[in-house]
Amino acid sequence: MDTPSLRLTGSAEVSVRTAGPDDAAAIARVQLVTWRTAFGDLLPAGVLDAWDDADAAGTWRTALSAPPSPAHSVLVAVDAGAVVGFAVTAPDGAARELTVLLVEPRWGRRGHGSRLLAAVADLARAAGVTTLTSWLAEQDTVTARFLETAGWAPEGGVRVLESGDDAVRQVRWHTRLDGDHPAADREGTS
C-alpha cells in the first residue's frame, strides 16, 4: 500500500502508523474485543457467536496485503509496541469514508481515538480530500459524542443494514477538512 508518510503523534511509546499484513491478528483481536465489550448490544444476533479468529485474521491479512485501491487505508494505534486500535478508510466519491474506528476499551480515554482520527484527516488532506464521512449505528451514542467533539455532525442520510431477522439503522456523519463547519452545510450557509 502506497500511502503518504504520517506524522507520528505522541511519544515513541504512543503512535499511529500504517498497518501492514503482520498486524492482521492484532487488528482482528481489537475488533473482537471491542465488538464484544462496546457493541454487543448493537450487533445482530449471531455475529459474535460466528466469529473465527483465524478467519478474521486471514481476512485482515488479505485486505492489508492487497487493498482494493490506493485510496483504501488501515491505520493502527500503538501503545508500548502493542496495537490497541485501528481505523479504516475507503473512497466515498470525492470524500473519504471512515468505515471503522475502534480502540480496545481497556485502552480508551488515552487519546488513541483522537490520534487515529487526526491521522485519517492527515491522509485525506494529503490526497486532496476535503470531506470525511462515516456511518454510525443510531444507538452508538459514545462514538457520536466522540465525533461531535472532533467537529463532525450528522449529515441527514439514513440506511438500514439487514442481517437475518436483525436490522441496524445507521446515520451518516461528516466533517469538512477545509475549515467549513458541517453544521453550516446543513443550514445551507456555506
Digit-coded pLDDT (tens) for 26-73: 999 999 888 777 766 766 666 666 667 888 899 999 999 999 999 999
Please tell me the chain's helix, strand, coil percentages from 3-state DSSP, rounded to the nearest 5: 35, 30, 35
Query: If you average pLDDT over residues 104-120, what whole number do you get?
Result: 89
Lowest mean pLDDT among 30-39, 89-98, 146-155: 30-39
Query: If you average pLDDT over residues 130-150, what whole number do you get?
Result: 94
- pLDDT at 18 exceeding the cut of 50: yes
**What pLDDT does residue 123 have?**
95
Nearest alpha-carbon partner for 140 in 165, 93, 173, 186? 173
For the structural domain made of 14-187, what CATH number should be given? 3.40.630.30
Instruction: Give 166 or 74, the one with higher predicted confidence.
Output: 74
- pLDDT at 7 exceeding the cut of 90: no
Would you kindly state where each structural domain of the chain is located, as residue ranges? 14-187
**What pLDDT does residue 39 have?**
66
Query: If you average pLDDT over residues 109-132, what whole number do you get?
Result: 94
What pTM does this model have?
0.84
Alpha helices in 39-181 (DSSP H): 53-65, 112-126, 141-149
- pLDDT at 4 exceeding the cut of 50: no
- pLDDT at 80 exceeding the cut of 60: yes
- Please tell me the distance from the alpha carbon of residue 119 to that of residue 7, in angstroms, as a whole number: 8
